[in-house]
């Protein structure tokens, strides 16, 4: 289970970042008092426009950056106080994951297995499950720099799942993927969900959230503005699809800000 309680993340901007954001304020409130709970056996989607704070939230859960305020518990472990225990139970995936270009997929997989203190046979067993599923056997001995974007993404997914984590945190699962590869990834997420795993993912693609996510948290300007199943969000707004529901909430959020 993931429990986020009143999470706030404020970045300190350098001069270049301030100039780029056209602001004189050196602080950027990327996440603003966000709370949510996600449970085993569900795909929870963080849905929001560019810059809404989705990646920042996921990176805080994954112990990669420190919250400014608030608490996050992963299977009961607080992310800052028990970060190692948290890292053991999660797989963090992002489309811009950096796998070392010099090494081949086999090597990277074995390396991350050892990082998770797995034995040689445990690593081989996981390989026997993941490589055929993602069609990795064909390019397992190729160096990362020789792979296409889709192959790299598949390799990155396999590497992040080497230790069979209970919780999968996925930043924009289908970003940059062709439709066939994207389907392979979303089908796999459903399979993991059906096995009882918890998946929390970010997306700005309405159709993806609509089809894939069991519950959706809509985020704008770092704040959660709505949450529910697709049916609940449609019922409350009277919208015909998620995109319309999103714009309904977006309009309301703009009116509150004004
Ligand atoms: N390291 C950082 N330093 C300063 N500001 C940052 C940093 N990372 C993100 N931000 C800012 O925080 C805000 C939220 O960014 P974040 O990447 O979490 O949004 P997002 O919802 O994931 O957006 P996208 O869909 O574009 O990936 C943005 O205004 C972004 O520019």
Burial 187-198 (b: 16+ CB within 10 A, else e): ebbeebbeeebb
Pairwise CA distance, residues 98 & 172, whole Å: 15
Pairwise CA distance, residues 97 & 173, whole Å: 11
Q: For 12, list phi and psi in degrees, rounded to 5.
A: -90, 120
Question: How many other CB atoms are there within 10 angstroms of residue 96's CB atom?
Answer: 12
Per the CB < 8 A criterion, the answer to whether 172 and 203 are in contact is yes
Per the CB < 8 A criterion, the answer to whether 40 and 192 are in contact is no
pTM: 0.92
SS3 97: coil
Pairwise CA distance, residues 76 & 57, whole Å: 18
For the CA of 52, the closest atom of ligand 1 is 21
pLDDT at 152: 87
Per the CB < 8 A criterion, the answer to whether 221 and 33 are in contact is no
For the CA of 9, the closest atom of ligand 1 is 12
Query: Is the pLDDT at 68 greater than 80, yes or no?
Result: yes
pLDDT digits (tens, 9 = 90+) for 175-221: 878 888 888 889 999 999 999 999 999 999 999 999 999 999 999 99
CB of 51 within 6 A of ligand 1: the answer is yes
pLDDT at 182: 87
CA pseudo-torsion sign 129, 131, 133, 138: negative
Distance 41 CA to ligand 1 centre (A): 28
Per the CB < 8 A criterion, the answer to whether 200 and 41 are in contact is no
**Alpha carbons within 13 A on the beta-carbon side of 154:** 26
Distance 68 CA to ligand 1 centre (A): 15
Question: Per-residue confidence at 36, pLDDT binned at 50, 70, 90?
Answer: very high
pLDDT digits (tens, 9 = 90+) for 88-100: 899 998 766 677 8
CB of 70 within 6 A of ligand 1: the answer is no
CB of 14 within 6 A of ligand 1: the answer is no
Q: What is the dihedral of CA 34, 35, 38, 44, to 10 degrees?
A: -30
Distance 30 CA to ligand 1 centre (A): 6
Question: Per-residue confidence at 77, pLDDT binned at 50, 70, 90?
Answer: very high
Query: Is the pLDDT at 174 greater than 90, yes or no?
Result: no
Mean pLDDT, the chain, rounded, equals 92
Which of 4, 11, 94, 200 is the best mutation target for the ligand 1 pocket, counting ligand atoms within 8 Å of the beta carbon and taking the most?
A: 11
β-bridge mates for residue 28, sequence order: 11
Question: How many other CB atoms are there within 10 angstroms of residue 33's CB atom?
Answer: 14
CB of 217 within 6 A of ligand 1: the answer is no
The residue with tokens 């309301």 is: 252
pLDDT at 148: 87
pLDDT at 96: 67
pLDDT at 120: 96
pLDDT at 196: 96
This complex has an ipTM of 0.97
Strand order in the sheet with 2-12: 27-38, 2-12, 69-74, 77-78
pLDDT at 256: 74
Distance 52 CA to ligand 1 centre (A): 7
pLDDT digits (tens, 9 = 90+) for 4-32: 999 999 999 999 989 988 899 999 999 99
pLDDT digits (tens, 9 = 90+) for 137-161: 999 999 988 998 888 888 988 999 9
């Amino acid at each position: 289970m993931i429990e986020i309680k009143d999470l706030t993340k404020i970045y300190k901007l350098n001069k270049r970042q301030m100039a780029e954001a056209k602001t004189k304020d050196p602080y950027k409130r990327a996440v603003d008092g966000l709370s949510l709970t996600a449970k085993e056996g569900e795909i929870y989607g963080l849905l929001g426009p560019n810059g809404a704070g989705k990646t920042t939230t996921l990176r805080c859960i994954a112990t990669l950056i420190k919250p400014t305020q608030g608490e996050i518990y992963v299977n009961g472990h607080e992310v800052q106080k028990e970060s190692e225990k948290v890292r053991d139970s999660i797989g963090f995936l992002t489309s811009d994951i950096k796998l070392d270009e010099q090494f081949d997929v086999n090597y990277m997989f074995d390396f991350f297995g050892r990082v998770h203190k797995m034995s040689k046979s445990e690593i081989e067993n996981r390989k026997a499950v993941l490589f055929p599923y993602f069609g990795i056997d064909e390019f397992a001995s190729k160096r990362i720099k020789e792979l296409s974007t889709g192959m790299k993404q598949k390799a990155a997914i396999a590497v992040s799942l080497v230790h069979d984590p209970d919780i999968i945190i996925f930043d924009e699962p289908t970003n940059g993927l062709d439709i066939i590869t994207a389907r392979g990834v979303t089908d796999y997420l459903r399979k993991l969900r059906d096995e009882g795993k918890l998946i929390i993912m970010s997306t700005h693609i309405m159709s993806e959230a609509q089809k894939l996510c069991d519950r959706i948290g809509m985020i704008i300007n770092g704040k959660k503005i709505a949450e529910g199943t697709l049916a609940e969000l449609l019922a409350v707004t009277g919208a015909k699809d998620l995109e319309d529901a999103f714009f309904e909430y977006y309009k309301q959020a703009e009116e509150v800000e004004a």
